């Protein structure tokens, strides 16, 4: 399994990231420990989380995912085998209306994340969403200072538009500050245009790493959702409805066809397509069972033929 450079950060990651947003939500701590052990034992190393995960679950306040990862790191002693990516800037609970990318908020949040994760340095610290109010130079200066202090190794952006990402990179260059070395966009076989038209050319030009989220379109590309009646199968089902259309079903049908030819599974094929895309460093995918994790591990080792890639490209246009 060939590892890839994450931009110019100096971080080298395996071609698939584990989405840890499920920890403290649909996967309890005991389950998370098993999943993390199996993930790392398979030579995969990138763990993606956020301070806010999973605040949406009743009773949670945010930080539950980081806390579980921190407890696993302490128990397993596998800190040197993983790349920890977390994020800052989204609303925690109780909602105080103070979330932003100001220097004060970033400095306060990073200490809390470090404590929950039980580590001294965050490998990749990402702005979870754009803050149109705080000046980019203030945000980037704060991140730059955290790198100088040894609390963060590299920084990345998530959910930025092409225009704002380009502006942020220009600010870093002009002021001599650390720059965003990665982007985390929504990208999968169904949701292509938002990334490919505006962000992909910029990431390629600036040599940024790309860690895509919703890689399986909230589970739709696994093939388990064929009608609205199927949406009750999962807590994520409510977000799948938009995919239930002619184009969505054509993509899934093609995934099934390619999977059958390769004696594989649709989810593996969908992830392998992403891994094969030029410029994609590591798509993010989640698992709540060891059998689901097997699909992720298999996808990281699967190479699709040019014919299969072309067939999937055509179905998803």
> Residue 123 and residue 147: Cα distance in Å, rounded?
10
Closest by CA position to 212, among listed 294, 137, 270: 270
225 noted as active-site residue: no
Catalytic entry in 53, 105, 190, 225: 53
> Residue 157 and residue 182: Cα distance in Å, rounded?
6
Closest by CA position to 298, among listed 38, 48, 80: 38
Catalytic sites, residue numbers? 53
């Amino acid at each position: 399994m060939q590892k890839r450079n994450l931009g110019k950060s100096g971080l080298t990651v395996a071609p698939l990231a584990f989405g840890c947003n499920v920890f403290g939500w649909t996967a309890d701590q005991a389950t998370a420990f098993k999943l993390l052990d199996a993930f790392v034992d398979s030579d995969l190393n990138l763990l993606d989380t956020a301070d806010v995960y999973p605040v949406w679950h009743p009773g949670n306040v945010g930080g539950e995912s980081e806390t579980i990862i921190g407890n696993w790191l302490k128990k397993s002693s596998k800190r040197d085998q993983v790349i920890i990516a977390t994020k800052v800037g989204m609303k925690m609970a109780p909602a105080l209306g103070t979330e932003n990318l100001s220097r004060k908020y970033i400095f306060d949040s990073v200490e809390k994340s470090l404590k929950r994760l039980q580590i001294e340095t965050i490998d990749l610290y990402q702005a979870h969403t754009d803050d149109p109010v705080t000046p980019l130079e203030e945000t980037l200066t704060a991140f730059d200072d955290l790198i100088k202090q040894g609390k963060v190794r590299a920084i990345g952006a998530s959910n930025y538009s092409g225009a704002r990402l380009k502006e942020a990179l220009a600010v870093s260059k002009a002021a001599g500050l650390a720059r965003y070395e990665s982007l985390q966009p929504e990208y999968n076989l169904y949701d292509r245009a938002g990334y490919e038209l505006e962000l992909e050319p910029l990431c390629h030009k600036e040599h940024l790493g790309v860690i895509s989220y919703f890689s399986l379109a909230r589970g739709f590309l696994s093939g388990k959702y064929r009608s609205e009646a199927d949406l009750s199968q999962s807590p994520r089902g409510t977000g799948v409805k938009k995919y239930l259309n002619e184009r969505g079903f054509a993509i899934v049908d093609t995934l099934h066809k390619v999977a059958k030819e390769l004696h594989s599974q649709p989810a593996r094929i969908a992830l392998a397509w992403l891994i094969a895309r030029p410029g994609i460093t590591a798509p993010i995918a989640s698992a709540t069972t060891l059998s689901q994790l097997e699909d992720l591990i298999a996808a990281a080792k699967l190479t699709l033929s040019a014919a299969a890639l072309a067939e999937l490209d055509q179905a998803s246009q």
